[in-house]
C-alpha cells in the first residue's frame, strides 16, 4: 500500500472524501473500511490531521461494491474484486470515450 502524506492543492480538496465520510456513505464500519484498505480496495491518497482521505473516483466504485455487500451479503473479498473490476471498467470507458472523440474528429476533418 502506498500512502502519500501530502496536502492536496486547495482547489482539489473537493476531489477527496475522508474515510469517516466514506464509511457513513457506504454504510460500513470502520473495521470493514480498515480491512478494505488492507486488501487494497481503498487506497489512501493522503493523511491530514489524523484523518485519511481517498479520491472521489474510488468512492464511486466503492459505493457500488458496498451496495453488493449489503444487498447480496457477499464477503469483503468479493467487494475487493468488485471494486477492482469497476475501476478497470471506468478506465476502459474513459479510454473508449477518448478514442471515440479522436475518431470522430478524424472523420470530420
Look at the chain and report how many structural domains it folds into. 1
What CATH number corresponds to the domain at position 17? 1.10.1660.10
Domain-embedded: residue 81: yes
pLDDT at 12: 66
Q: Which domain holds residue 92?
A: 10-108
pLDDT digit string, tens, across residues 33-74: 888 889 888 889 888 888 999 988 888 878 888 888 888 888
For 1, residues 6+ apart whose C-beta sits below 8 A from its C-beta are 37, 38, 40, 43, 44
Q: How far is CA 102 from CA 21, 44, 91, 93, in A?
A: 38, 33, 17, 14
pLDDT at 82: 85
Amino acid at each position: 500500500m502506498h500512502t502519500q502524506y501530502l496536502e492536496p492543492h486547495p482547489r482539489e480538496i473537493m476531489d477527496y472524501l475522508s474515510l469517516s465520510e466514506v464509511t457513513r456513505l457506504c454504510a460500513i464500519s470502520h473495521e470493514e473500511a480498515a480491512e478494505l484498505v488492507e486488501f487494497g480496495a481503498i487506497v489512501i491518497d493522503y493523511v491530514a490531521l489524523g484523518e485519511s482521505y481517498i479520491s472521489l473516483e474510488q468512492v464511486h466504485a466503492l459505493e457500488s461494491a458496498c451496495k453488493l455487500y449489503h444487498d447480496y451479503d457477499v464477503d469483503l473479498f468479493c467487494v475487493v474484486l468488485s471494486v477492482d473490476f469497476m475501476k478497470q471498467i471506468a478506465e476502459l470507458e474513459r479510454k473508449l470515450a477518448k478514442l471515440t472523440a479522436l475518431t470522430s474528429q478524424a472523420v470530420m476533418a
